[in-house]
């Protein structure tokens, strides 16, 4: 069983996850998920869908089962599930934290689409005081410890949300990395994995629960760092 789901059984506190898929119209959809699983494998929780086009969360209740390593849940938006929206996931190899992959399917003949659900032990998706949505800590993290790993497809092109790899390619994050904001006085720095060249965010100082995970875009992201207006609370801004 995926470790983070196994630890969730009969826990009084839900586990926080982030889900991702691309809709048929090309819209990138991210979900903030909180799951509880009882000793019999019954699954409950909530899913807040965040579409990039409006940033407004749309809440669904989750109901389903964890059978062995397979997680199957039904989504009920506004108390009903008229299209039978369902997630069917199994564990996948993941460099950081834990992850599951599978399909999200709707009724009415809709195609099932690839779906990824990721877990970072110390983090959750929440409102940022300066940049809309952000990655926020749920537990303290000591200086020098890994906070969030950046996973996703790697390519040659830079995008507004990509991270540069150590071999000068770019990874498009499908997990919490998509919601890691810039700060001129950041809480984390980029460290590269020696084998994969993928970036990892490491705490620059002792961090408390509730602190936002941020890094300085100007250190690694080149021209992208000048494409936005910084609203972080630092007295002097780099961008």
Residue 100 and residue 177 in one domain = no
For residue 189, the model assigns a pLDDT of 94
Could you give the 3-state DSSP secondary structure of residue 79?
coil
User: Could you tell me the two tokens for 84?
Assistant: 């039978």
Number of CB atoms found within 10 A of residue 202's CB = 18
Q: Over the stretch 111-135, which tens digit does the pLDDT of each residue have?
A: 788 998 888 889 999 988 887 899 9
User: Could you tell me the two tokens for 114?
Assistant: 């690839």
For residue 186, the model assigns a pLDDT of 92
Query: At a CB cut-off of 8 Å and minimum separation 6, what does 102 contact?
Result: 71, 87, 88, 89, 90, 114, 115
> Does residue 239 fall inside a structural domain?
no
For residue 109, the model assigns a pLDDT of 56
pLDDT at 227 over 70: no
Q: Tell me the average pLDDT across 150-173.
A: 88
Q: Which of 72, 95, 119 is the last residue of a domain?
A: 119
Distances, alpha carbon 92 to alpha carbons 44, 65, 175, in Å: 22, 18, 14
Distance CA 205, CA 147 (A): 11
For residue 134, the model assigns a pLDDT of 93
> Does residue 238 fall inside a structural domain?
no
Q: Tell me the average pLDDT across 210-238.
A: 76
Q: Which of 77, 96, 119 is the last residue of a domain?
A: 119
Q: Over the stretch 67-91, which tens digit does the pLDDT of each residue have?
A: 888 889 888 876 655 456 788 888 8
Residue 24 and residue 89 in one domain = yes
Q: Which of 119, 145, 168 is the last residue of a domain?
A: 119
Residue 130 and residue 78 in one domain = no
> Does residue 231 fall inside a structural domain?
no
For residue 126, the model assigns a pLDDT of 92
Which residue segment(s) compose the domain that 34 sits in? 3-119
Q: What CATH number is associated with residue 166? A: 2.170.270.10
Q: Over the stretch 165-218, which tens digit does the pLDDT of each residue have?
A: 888 898 988 889 999 998 889 999 999 988 888 899 999 999 999 999 999 888
Range among 7-21, 34-48, 81-95 with highest mean pLDDT value: 34-48
Q: What is the chain's mean pLDDT, rounded?
A: 82
Residue 218 and residue 141 in one domain = yes
- Domain count along the chain: 2
Residue 97 and residue 136 in one domain = no
Categorize the per-residue pLDDT at 1 as very low, low, confident or very high, splitting at 50, 70 and 90. Answer: very low
Closest CA to 17 of 112, 84, 87: 87
Greater confidence (189 vs 108) lies with 189
Question: Mean pLDDT lowest for which of 13-27, 38-52, 72-86, 198-212?
Answer: 72-86
pLDDT at 153 over 50: yes
């Amino acid at each position: 069983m995926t470790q983070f789901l196994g630890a969730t059984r009969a826990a009084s506190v839900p586990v926080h996850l982030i889900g991702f898929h691309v809709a048929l119209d090309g819209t990138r959809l991210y979900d903030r998920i909180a799951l509880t699983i009882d000793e019999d494998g019954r699954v409950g929780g909530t899913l807040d869908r965040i579409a990039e086009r409006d940033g407004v969360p749309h809440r669904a209740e989750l109901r389903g089962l964890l059978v062995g390593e397979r997680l199957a849940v039904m989504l009920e938006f506004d108390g009903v599930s008229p299209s039978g929206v369902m997630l069917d996931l199994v564990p996948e190899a993941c460099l950081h934290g834990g992850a599951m992959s599978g399909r999200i399917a709707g009724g009415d003949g809709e195609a099932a689409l690839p779906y990824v659900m990721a877990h970072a032990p110390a983090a959750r998706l929440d409102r940022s005081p300066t940049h809309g949505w952000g990655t926020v800590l749920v537990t303290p993290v000591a200086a020098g410890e890994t906070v969030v790993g950046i996973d996703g497809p790697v390519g040659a092109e830079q995008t507004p949300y990509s991270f540069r790899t150590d071999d000068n390619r770019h990874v498009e994050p499908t997990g919490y990395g998509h919601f890691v904001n810039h700060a001129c006085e950041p809480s984390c720095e980029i460290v590269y994995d020696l084998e994969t060249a993928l970036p990892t965010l490491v705490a620059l100082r002792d961090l408390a629960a509730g602190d936002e995970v941020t890094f300085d875009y100007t250190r690694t992201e080149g021209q992208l760092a000048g494409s936005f207006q910084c609203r972080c609370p630092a007295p002097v801004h780099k961008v």
